[in-house]
Structure 1
């Protein structure tokens, strides 16, 4: 059985690796690799948000009745990070190293804080609340396009 903590925690690490690769390409002024790397990161992070918002959060909320608690905070933070993703996209398009690296630093801090909250609190709560349906929830997350 795969837990939500394992599945989504591993996906956090995947997104982090893509983020670092894109940032490294920008720092080296390699805009072809930066554009490709950023697009991979962008798609991976939005996919991660979709798995949570379309599958895991609703399952957790349905089971626990908590709709204004941790999932509401996570959705709000997803929205903040999506805004920064759009700014990073714009910086890549304009090939603006300073704008990219500045917004990337902000996004990195937000992602780190967000991931800790999810991994240390929400995912563990979800694993407990959804213990009888973990395989189904993880399978549904894997099926998110």
Structure 2
């Protein structure tokens, strides 16, 4: 049986792989390929955030009563990452490789720290808090559209 931790950590790895591919594409000169790679990564991240913000975080908050705790920190970090997504998209539109790679480097550090907090703290807390509803929460997250 999947747990929230295993399911969401696996999704982190999927997003990380798409990020790596998008960053690798930036070493080339084909801006269409770079844009496509970035869009695949962004779609993946937006879907991941949506699963957390629409399903996981509200369920966790309802069961724990923690509305200003770790989920609030994660939401604030999502906002910061979305700003970096926009900056990377703008860099692609302007075909500015240096700007793209600079924003990607900042995003990578932020994602690593963010994912570590989720994987080593929040998801484990959610596994415990939502143990009785694990399958329902996982089904709801799987049902979230992109």
Q: TM-score range by the shorter chain?
A: over 0.9
Distance (Å, rounded) in 2 between the aligned partners of 1:55 and 1:47: 12
Distance (Å, rounded) in 1 between the aligned partners of 2:128 and 2:62: 14
Number of residue pairs the alignment of both structures matches: 145
Residue aligning to 1:25: 25
Residue aligning to 1:4: 4
Residue aligning to 1:35: 35
3-state SS in 2 of match to 1:66: coil
Distance (Å, rounded) in 2 between the aligned partners of 1:58 and 1:26: 37
Distance (Å, rounded) in 1 between the aligned partners of 2:69 and 2:90: 33
Deviation at 1:28, TM superposition (A): 2.0
Deviation at 1:94, TM superposition (A): 1.1
3-state SS in 2 of match to 1:27: coil
3-state SS in 1 of match to 2:68: coil
Distance (Å, rounded) in 2 between the aligned partners of 1:143 and 1:51: 9
Query: Where in structure 1 do 4 or more consecutive aligned residues deviate above 3 Å?
Result: none
Say what the alpha-carbon RMSD is for the aligned residues: 0.6
Structure 2 residues without counterparts, runs of 5 or longer: none
Does the alignment pair 1:96 with 2:96? yes
Residue aligning to 1:87: 87
Distance (Å, rounded) in 2 between the aligned partners of 1:135 and 1:31: 42
Distance (Å, rounded) in 2 between the aligned partners of 1:114 and 1:138: 21
Distance (Å, rounded) in 1 between the aligned partners of 2:10 and 2:115: 11
Distance (Å, rounded) in 2 between the aligned partners of 1:107 and 1:29: 22
Deviations 1:27-61 (A, max 9, x none): 22232211111000001001100000000000000
Distance (Å, rounded) in 2 between the aligned partners of 1:36 and 1:68: 37
TM-score by length of 2: 0.98
After alignment, is 27-36 or 95-104 more displaced? 27-36
Residue aligning to 1:130: 130
